[in-house]
A and B are shown apart, each in its own frame.
Chain A
Amino acid sequence: MYAIRAGLQKFQITPNFEIESIIRLYARWIREGRLTVNSDWNKDLGVTFTVQDPCQLVRKSFGDPVAEDLRFVVKSVVGEEHFIEMYPNKSNNYCCGGGGGYLQSGFTEERRAYGQRKLQQIVDTGADYCIAPCHNCHSQIHDLSEHSGRHFPVVHLWTLICLSMGCLGENERSYLGEDLASVGL
């Protein structure tokens, strides 16, 4: 998304459409009661989650307001008491190291060294899961988790939204840990 926004600016293009993020829509739809998520499924389970603020979405695009939307969605879905912040966060968050073409660049060792700071941040929260609402973040944090031997699950937000609505299909659970693999099936 940032590549488009920055590109429009750089190449002086004025499109006749607007750029929107699904994260902001999730939040709006939940507020409007159109997306009826709730966190009942997690009441007894008590699985804890932290969330990655993607640089491209937060610091580089919509700033703290979208970070607030992201938290609103996450808390609605997993329960406020099961959400743990990493620090620093929002616009001041550390990049995971998956951006900038790193995953494609061939500098694997350096990429993982870069990711150490992110990994530590996540580990320090003690959360069971990390939610990564961006593809690059997801790939990178998943790799950090596996490569470090920590093996905490890294999930997309859409997975948890559908899980909480009781409509997550059997084949749509690749990134869930064993604890949630059959919830709502």
Chain B
Amino acid sequence: MGETTTLVLPRQSAFLSQVMGLLPEGGNLSMCLTCGLCSSGCPASGLHDMDPRKFLRLCALGQDDLVLSTPWVWMCTMCQRCVYACPMQIDIPRLIYAARAAWPRENRPKGIRGSCDQALNTEGNSAMGARSEDFQFVAEDVLEEVKASQPGWEDLSVSFNRKGAEYFLNQNSREPVTEPDEMVPLWKILHTVGCDWTYGTLGWAAENYCMFLADDKAWETIVRNKVRAVEELGCRYWLNTE
């Protein structure tokens, strides 16, 4: 036998205990069989010398300094494929979320932070900072153009804040901001089937980066604003374009 090298000194993980305290059944976080199914099916495995099993082991061995500093937590998409593949249904993305949340807000990736802040600063919760009046103006402008130039679509309609509509349709900001013509095919489909739908000027943007930023307070603010938007109009369904 050659020399053995101790790579890590096992410690009690304050981080892991805190996360397990938050999850029902402790998120099964202590039940890992180290089988590696999570890592073999994770597209983020190997980036920055990390993978989900290793991340979980480092947590279990109390290597909090490493766990809470690796930028890998921003390279896992929280896609949950590892949870799906894991024989013990261990919720690794919840652990990732908690690790993201442990980063000081100002150190989290600027782009995600900016998108969340823009959403907080606009009544439509647009991560691209689109103002609701601009969204409405663009939509109506595109609509007029279609009605005038495409035969057979003179009756195409789009409404905003129409109370009692069955569906409240949300819209990714990317369309009104960068490619407004992409909204038209969807309008045509809704028109063809006689769908009773409306856009809103409150909470209309489909995206939500505050969750990915792991900013609980901001995430909750956005969710509550969107819920209020749909409820104020009395719509039965909150309809997502995806």
A interface vs B, CB < 8 Å? 1, 3-4, 6-8, 10-11, 13, 15-23, 25-26, 29, 34-35, 54-57, 59-60, 91-95, 97-102, 104-107, 110-111, 113-118, 133-135, 139, 156, 158-159, 161-162, 165, 167-169, 171-172, 174
Check B182 for interface membership: any CB of A closer than 8 A: yes
Q: Tell me whether A20 and B238 are in contact in the complex, defined as CB-CB below 8 angstroms, given that A55-B79, A106-B109, A135-B206 are known contacts.
A: yes
A-B contact pairs, 29 of them (CB 8 A): A4-B208, A4-B226, A7-B208, A7-B223, A10-B216, A13-B223, A13-B224, A13-B227, A17-B236, A18-B236, A22-B239, A23-B242, A25-B239, A56-B242, A59-B84, A60-B79, A94-B81, A95-B43, A100-B76, A101-B74, A105-B109, A106-B109, A110-B48, A133-B242, A135-B241, A158-B185, A158-B186, A161-B185, A172-B182
Contact residues of B between 16 and 49, Cβ < 8 Å to A: 41, 43-44, 47-48
B interface vs A, CB < 8 Å? 41, 43-44, 47-48, 71, 74-81, 84-85, 109-112, 114-115, 127, 146, 149-150, 152-153, 167-168, 172, 174, 179, 181-182, 184-186, 188-189, 192-195, 206-213, 216, 219-220, 222-224, 226-227, 230-231, 235-242
**Is B77 within 8 A of A55, CB to CB?**
yes
Collect the chain A residues with CB atoms within 8 Å of residue B112's CB.
101, 104-105
CB closest chain-A residue, reference B93: A100
Collect the chain A residues with CB atoms within 8 Å of residue B212's CB.
99-101, 104
